[in-house]
A and B are shown apart, each in its own frame.
Chain A
Amino acid sequence: MNNLFFRYVPGNSIIHRLDPRVKIAAMLITSISIFISSSFREMAVVALVFFLLVLISSTSVRIILGAVRPMLMFLGIIFILQLFLTEGNPLFSLMGLDATYEGLALGALMSMRFLFLLMFASLLTATTAPSVMTTGIEKMLRPLPLKKLGISSFDLATMMFLSLHFVPLLYGSFSHLRDAQVSRGLDMARNPFKAVYALSVPMVRTAFTSAEEVAVAMESRCYQGVNRSSLNEPVMQKKDLAALLIFGIIMFFLV
């Protein structure tokens, strides 16, 4: 899981080369479109756009699925809740709860919204190097008057970047911890509550320790949260803007 979850896959497609700001803006437009679309027809358009983008960027389906898989349970819960808790024409009954046709439709729509949101997000992370994304976010935030609130746009961007960075790191230390506890006789299946306790407490400690270590490493490499530059400084070109404009228009008219 740790090598597929929202992972960046280097490539050289048009989508890879787009300015990160364009991609982030497009992601915002897409999210809005997904949330205002309220019929299966509109969802089909979203799906079509998505598959086109996947084709253009030649992103592997495994990467997209890798982002979706850990969330399937969550999507399932949304679907079931909607299925049983929506009023309407009864479909079938289970343990005194009525599933309805309306619930089925609404549940499917809701879980599809989240599904596509996740998949678009994974497309964004798969085609944008994290450092490029950070720079993009930083550049987008820079004009905002954040300084007056005592926040630097560099700090915000680094925070986002680091939280991405910590996912595999924490997953790694979780596996180590689990192995250590299991090898000392922890039976996760028989006593799940004890397992949660035995894993979560040291996990929190490990998280703090590694955060501390990363902070020291960053500090000793002159990180100050101000005036950073970037290896891949994005340059907004006409074709980037054009791409955003076209994408915006498509999403606006179709959805």
Chain B
Amino acid sequence: MTLMIEIQDLLYSYPDGTIALDSVDLHIGKGEFVVIAGRNGSGKSSLVRHMNALLLPSGGCVSVNRLCTLQKKNHPDIRKAIGMVFQGPDSQFIGMTVEEDVAFGPENLGLPPLRIRELVEISLEMMGISELRFHSPRSLSGGQKQKVAIAGVLAMEPGCIVFDEVTSMLDPFSRKDVLDAVKRIHAKGTTVIYVTHRLEETINADRLVIMDSGKVVADASPRDVFLQHDLEMYGIELPPVVALSRMLTRAGFPGIGIALTKDELLEALCP
């Protein structure tokens, strides 16, 4: 697998001296679906903000496609390679209409108008919001807003998209909708880094990275993380199915181990 993001011994402290990230090592390959989870203040947002050079390391090194974020001349290439969708959609809108907002990224890349038009079409189509193109982003519902924000990043054709708690302000239905869109994007070959504190959203991920007090405390497949770590210790609630299967195992039910989905649990209980 080709390496996309390489983080080595990353140290980051805020201007007031508080340490936000402490010797973080993380390697992310092309096409992976990596979930980063942790309680509030665990450093997950700071970590992903290093990936497109919005924050620069106080120590150690972050490189994207072998370009180090410390060199300012690399920033345009890095930001083109790594798109980022944030938690609050309202403050990320720049355009007055959905179409204009989605076009903002490609416009910054200096692409010709026809190519921009094409990219906007494709991204809107992919998010299923083509009919909203002339609406003002502000007049949309929370889920639609987040889809516009995602389309805006898609239009730049990044190799990797970071989703920073994009579903935390949404109701369950919109959350599922947005999550499905994220899965579709990953299926098309884009590397996905998904920050959340809802582990039930992470079952399909290749890797689950758990952060606590600025450190990576677990980095494995979701199943292995659930097996090997006591996540409540890090302030993370287990998905209901996982919690239940763990309780059953502890109570002496044989052959369950860790079930990640309802079907898996059912299969283990009534083989």
Contacts and interface: CB of A to CB of B under 8 A. Distances in A.
Same assembly: yes
Interface of A: 3, 8, 10, 129-131, 162, 164-165, 168-169, 172, 210, 213-214, 216-224, 227-233
B107 A229 contact: yes
A178 B62 CA distance: 43
B120 A231 contact: yes
A229 B112 CA distance: 7
Interface stretch (B6-14, B34-42, B96-104): B96-104
A220 B113 contact: no
Interface in B52-87: 52, 54, 76, 79-80, 83-84, 86
Contacts of B182: none
A217 B96 contact: no
B96 A8 contact: yes
A6 B21 CA distance: 45
A220 B110 CA distance: 15
A165 B88 contact: no
A-B pairs with lowest CB-CB distance, top 9: A213-B91, A231-B103, A217-B92, A221-B105, A222-B108, A233-B113, A131-B100, A220-B84, A227-B110
A219 to B, nearest CB: 7
Interface residues of B, number: 40
B138 interface: yes
Interface in B90-145: 90-97, 99-100, 103-113, 116-117, 120, 134, 136, 138-139
Contacts of B117: 231
B153 interface: yes
A222 B76 contact: yes
B214 interface: no
Q: In terms of DSSP, what is the predominant structure of the interface of chain B?
A: helix
B113 A231 contact: yes
A153 to B, nearest CB: 14
Given A217-B91, A230-B113, A231-B120, A222 B100 contact: no
Contacts of A165: 94, 96
A228 B116 CA distance: 12
A131 B93 CA distance: 13
A221 B156 contact: yes
A232 B95 CA distance: 13
B152 A221 contact: yes
A224 B80 CA distance: 12
A216 B105 CA distance: 13
Contact of B116 (A3, A217, A224, A229): A229
A230 B112 CA distance: 7
A213 B88 contact: yes
A249 B40 CA distance: 65
Contacts of B94: 162, 165, 214, 217-218, 221
A219 B56 CA distance: 14
B47 to A, nearest CB: 15
